[in-house]
C-alpha cells in the first residue's frame, strides 16, 4: 500500500480479524468468569463484531498511517500484533464500542507511523539545530506536553500514553532550548505545533523545523 493507493486491503482486514479473534479466545479461555457467547449473544455475533473492528481499523489506517514508512508487510504485521494492541485499548467484552479513538490508541501501541493531524492528540518530539553561532542553546526542541486537570502534573505525551486520558487536558506544544550539556530549558507553550515553530523562527531565524512534524513512534523518557 502507498500514498497513491489508499484503499482497504482485504488481506489486512483478515489479518486484523484473525489476530483479534485469537487474542480474545485466549483471554476468555483463561478467565472462567467470562463467556464469549453470552457477551455477544452467540459466537456468530462475536465474529461479526470482530470483522467490524478489523474493517474500521483498516479504513482508519488508510487515512492516517504513512505506509511508506513501514518496514513490515502490513497484513502480516496485523496478523502478528493487532489483537494484543487492540485489547490494550479496549476490553474484549466491549468490542462493539470500538471507535476511532481506539484506532489511534491501537496504532500508537503498535508504534505505527501515524501521519501528523492537527485534530488528533499526537506525540511529537522535533529537534532542530540553532543556526545562530555561539548561542546558549545549540538546538531547540518542540514536544507535545499535557497537564493534569488539577494542574498538579505536567508531562510529556509519548506513544505509550493514552492520548485520550481524561485525567489530562488537551495536549499542547512546548518549545525548549537545549544546552550543550543536553539540559532542556522551557521557553514557552503554544496551542499548536506551527505556533511553536513560528516562535522558534523568531528566536533563531533560519532554524529548520519542519512545517509538518513526525509523530513519535516510540516512548521518550520523561
Q: What is the pLDDT of residue 27?
A: 87
Rounded to 5 degrees, what are φ and ψ at 219? -70, 150
> How far is C-alpha 58 from the chain's CA centre?
15
Q: What is the DSSP string of 13-73?
A: HHHHHHHHHHHHHHHHHT-TT--HHHHTTSHHHHHHHHHHHHHHHHHHHHHHB-GGG--S-
Q: What is the pLDDT of residue 3?
A: 46
Q: What is the pLDDT of residue 219?
A: 46
CA-CA distances (angstroms) from residue 48 to 21, 40, 41, 51, 207? Answer: 11, 10, 11, 5, 52
Q: What is the pLDDT of residue 217?
A: 75
- The sign of the torsion formed by the CA atoms of 90, 214, 122, 212 equals negative
Cell of residue 84, nine digits: 494484543
Residues of the chain with pLDDT under 70: 1-5, 218-222
173, 195 contact by CB (below 8 A): yes
The 10s digit of each residue's pLDDT in 135-162 is 999 999 999 999 999 999 999 999 999 9
Q: What is the pLDDT of residue 92?
A: 93
| Domain definitions of the chain by residue range | 10-109, 125-203
219, 159 contact by CB (below 8 A): yes
> How far is C-alpha 4 from the chain's CA centre?
23
Under DSSP, the state recorded for 182 is: S
Q: What is the pLDDT of residue 5?
A: 53
Amino acid at each position: 500500500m502507498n500514498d497513491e493507493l489508499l484503499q482497504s486491503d482485504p488481506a489486512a482486514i483478515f489479518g486484523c480479524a484473525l489476530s483479534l479473534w485469537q487474542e480474545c479466545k485466549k483471554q476468555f479461555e483463561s478467565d472462567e468468569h467470562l463467556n464469549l457467547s453470552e457477551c455477544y449473544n452467540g459466537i456468530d455475533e462475536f465474529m461479526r463484531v470482530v470483522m467490524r473492528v478489523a474493517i474500521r481499523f483498516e479504513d482508519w489506517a488508510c487515512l492516517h498511517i504513512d505506509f511508506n514508512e513501514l518496514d513490515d508487510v502490513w497484513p502480516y504485521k496485523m496478523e502478528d500484533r493487532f489483537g494484543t494492541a487492540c485489547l490494550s485499548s479496549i476490553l474484549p467484552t466491549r468490542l462493539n464500542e470500538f471507535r476511532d479513538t481506539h484506532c489511534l490508541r491501537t496504532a500508537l501501541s503498535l508504534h505505527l507511523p501515524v501521519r501528523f493531524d492537527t485534530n488528533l492528540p499526537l506525540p511529537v518530539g522535533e529537534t532542530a539545530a540553532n543556526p545562530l553561532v555561539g548561542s546558549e542553546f545549540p538546538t531547540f526542541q518542540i514536544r507535545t506536553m499535557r497537564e493534569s486537570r488539577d494542574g498538579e502534573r505536567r508531562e510529556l505525551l509519548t506513544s505509550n500514553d493514552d492520548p485520550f486520558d481524561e485525567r489530562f487536558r488537551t495536549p499542547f506544544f512546548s518549545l525548549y532550548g537545549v544546552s550543550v550539556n543536553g539540559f532542556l530549558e522551557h521557553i514557552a507553550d503554544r496551542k499548536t505545533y506551527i505556533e511553536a515553530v513560528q516562535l522558534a523562527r523568531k528566536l533563531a531565524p533560519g532554524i529548520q523545523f519542519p512545517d509538518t512534524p513526525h509523530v513519535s513512534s516510540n516512548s521518550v523518557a520523561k
